[in-house]
Structure 1
Amino acid sequence: MDRSWMQIGNRVLQEYRNGVRSFLDFAFMHATTTQISCPCKRCNNVVLKTRDNVEEDLLMFGIVPSYIRWTMHGEESFTYEVGENDNDTDDEDVFEILEDHFGALSTDNWIAKRESNKHGYDEEPNENASQFYIILNGAEKELYLGCTDLPNNYYETRKILQDLGLHYSKIHACSNNCQLYWKKNTKADESLVCGESRWKPNEINKKKNTPQKVLRYFPLTPRLERLYMSRKTASSMTWHLNGRVDDGVLGHPVDTIAWKTLDESYSLFSPKPRNIRLGLASDGFNHLEI
């Protein structure tokens, strides 16, 4: 059934009115009473109304444009049919992701290692390998219907995220946004710029002071490294040199004057395809006060 009428803004058009009538015919064909939930923007499928009242509301207020599948009016909801090999594919994806994240290690090596351990050939893995084995072992355990291996608390959950390289650093900041308590200012108790206290006034004498403001910093370097750990994103990171067609048309940042100027200024940096160029987006902020 055509539902393009739902995106029409002018509700006076005959196309919109015909669409409303087709919806009402469909809804009341599946209705068990003389009332249905009204999908107009004001009622939002919460209020039950008669056919005439629903039609009046849809013509006056319009239908909710995101209500594409009419599940409240007899249409079946979307269901995903699981194929024979879907579960195997999901498992392979999990192992592939972990293998990509930890780079040189592979699931084949891990399986071989596990089999050899059964025969008594034990060898202590290094720190990186240990994290890989722990996470990979957890990926084999179910997370529903009787699963008992879920994290017991918030701390354990954060530990898993940290092992995956998804951690962040907390840096105290001045409440007036003029200074970070970082590097040489780590132990300062007040801002060297405005003199504002680092700590909340009513909690200064407690065992552990509470900062007035905290900046959460997501380290850039490990995230850039992780882009090269995945075989799917590593090729995209070097596409500008290995996959792009140089047809003289501006279709990628590599075609811009800024990119070319940087390459000319740093001749030792530019030939290496894995080197990353970062651009700064100010979002309207003018640091030069012009």
Structure 2
Amino acid sequence: MQAAIFPGQGSQRPGMGKEIYNRFPAAKKIFDAAEEIADFPLKEICFEDTEGVINQTEYTQPALFVSSLATLAALGEGFEFDAVAGHSLGEYTALVAAGIISFEDGMHAVLKRGELMSRSSETPGGMIAVIGLDEEKIENIIFPLKLKGIINIANYNSPGQIVVSGELELIKEAQKLLSKKARRLIPLAVSGAFHTKLMGRAAKQMSEVLEPIQFKEPKVAYFSNVSGKKEDDPEKIKELITKQIESPVRWIQLVENMMERGISRFIEVGEGKVLTGLIKRITKDAELVNINSVESVENFRKEE
């Protein structure tokens, strides 16, 4: 059994989607439809950006969402998958791929999500990736800081790669403490403390955005970032995706649960190779495929 998985913020690059747009009519249709919904030149930002605009959250999120769905469309209706998941922003792509929400509703939601997260919270926040330290040790190190304010593990990405998020001053303190134990620390270029309670206001506003959107039963198995589990009930899925912006991403648990349910092949659809890289560290038993170029789309279509 195989799953389609979709990347999140951090996988963007200048020029993304341009070759796929020019080569596949189905991909072109997705980009064109998305630009009609957006109030900015989405294709220009994806295809021609040289000023770093694509790295601004309000543009990054819709750009990645559309690029992944365009790549999925390029694969054609013959591409069948048994399950879906996405990392953070990528979970919205997964919602559309599973038939839970429409492309149009997904686009509107992601545009608002990017806007809200770009101005995130009134309290300055930051995020750091911690390399080479397990979650228990990280929790022990940051526990005293939790008594001072908001700081927590935001992304359980893979064994040995955990992301900590929180108030900026606490993140600075955490860096000093974690640097003594971790192999490496990577400060992330983000506009706030994503996946923490500092996103509470944005989560409330996202709930208002998502409330009128119709959520349907998944056409394939759908795995949630927040629960790390397979979810079937549309209302539960809506509740979880609303909480996602202020909740940790349980990617390790999610991948392990997919494998327990028989998923042995993971196909990352969209930019980069981040998710297959994480899965490689979670398990040695999975087949990993990346679809992120015209060549990879065409080769995959031949094989299938």
Q: Could you state the TM-score of these two structures normalised by the residue count of structure 2?
A: 0.18
Q: Which has the larger share of helix?
A: 2
Q: Which has the larger share of strand?
A: 2
Bigger RCO of structures 1 and 2 (CA < 8 A, at least 6 apart): 2
